[in-house]
Structure 1
Amino acid sequence: MNADFVFWPSVAFMATCNLYFGRRIRGDRIAMQWGLDGRPTWYASKAIGLWGVVGIALAVRLLIWIASTYIPTKVHGVEAGLLIASVVIAASHALVLRKAVQGV
């Protein structure tokens, strides 16, 4: 699948971000989502905040593969969906880690 040429570098990018930002994050919890007022709405432990997102990305890829293999008539736009998911997950993960380093 051509979208894998974006997906796997995105996973590598997220892992690299984890290694780079992980030791720069001072706290043991990471804000994972922000409300409209700009304040964090929930936190995760540092390990989950760093590596859980990579696991979610891999789970989404596995789900897409299972669906396109076993029920291909029900799946449409696999390439576009995987491409968009890869970019959005990687970009949002990098932004979350950047905010965590800033102490937000």
Structure 2
Amino acid sequence: MIAATLIALVVGLAFIAGCALYYGRQISSRRIPMQWDSDGQPAWFAPRLVGLWFSFGVTAALSVFLLVLALHAPQKLTALIVATISVIGANMWVQVYHLRRVIRWQAEAPAN
């Protein structure tokens, strides 16, 4: 079961990295929005590199943490594996949504 989770982690991280590379070519801004206010305007910015790769780092760190917990608490293995796969899947979706939103923002405000 751990092997399947590791495969999911590798596939998820490859997907997230692929998105960063693919969408990153379309983002020319040096600083990109990391979050939006309720009015649709950027709430805060991060350097381009951080903005592109943040989801990758968060996914890797949380997944490693959850897998280490699974190894130390085998009685909770199933729940921790479900949590790990949920983190991976959610962050895959977040990466695509975020980078596509940044591209849309950049097109709407080319002076950025």
Please point out which of 41, 62, 66 is paired with 2:64. Answer: 62
Give the TM-score, by structure 2 length.
0.79
SS of the aligned residue for 2:38 comes to coil
CA deviation map 1:46-93 (0-9, x unaligned): 001112221111111111122122344577611211111111101111
Q: Could you tell me which runs of 5 or more consecutive residues in structure 2 were left unpaired when the two chains were aligned.
A: none
Please point out which of 75, 78, 91 is paired with 2:93. Answer: 91
Q: For 2:58 and 2:35, how far apart are their aligned partners in 1? A: 16
Q: For 2:35 and 2:63, how far apart are their aligned partners in 1? A: 23
Which of the two has higher C-alpha Rg?
A: 2
Q: Could you tell me which runs of 5 or more consecutive residues in structure 1 were left unpaired when the two chains were aligned.
A: none
- Greater share of helix: 2
Inter-CA distance 35–76: structure 2 relative to 1 (3 Å threshold): farther
Any conservation in 2 of the 1:26–1:101 contact (CA below 8 Å)?
A: no
Any conservation in 1 of the 2:69–2:80 contact (CA below 8 Å)?
A: no
Please point out which of 20, 23, 32 is paired with 2:22. Answer: 20
Instruction: Choose between structure 1 and 2 for higher RCO, CA contacts under 8 A separated by at least 6 residues.
Output: 1
Aligned length: 104
The alignment status of 1:48 with 2:38, answered yes or no, reads no
SS of the aligned residue for 1:83 comes to helix
Q: For 2:42 and 2:83, how far apart are their aligned partners in 1? A: 28
SS of the aligned residue for 1:3 comes to helix
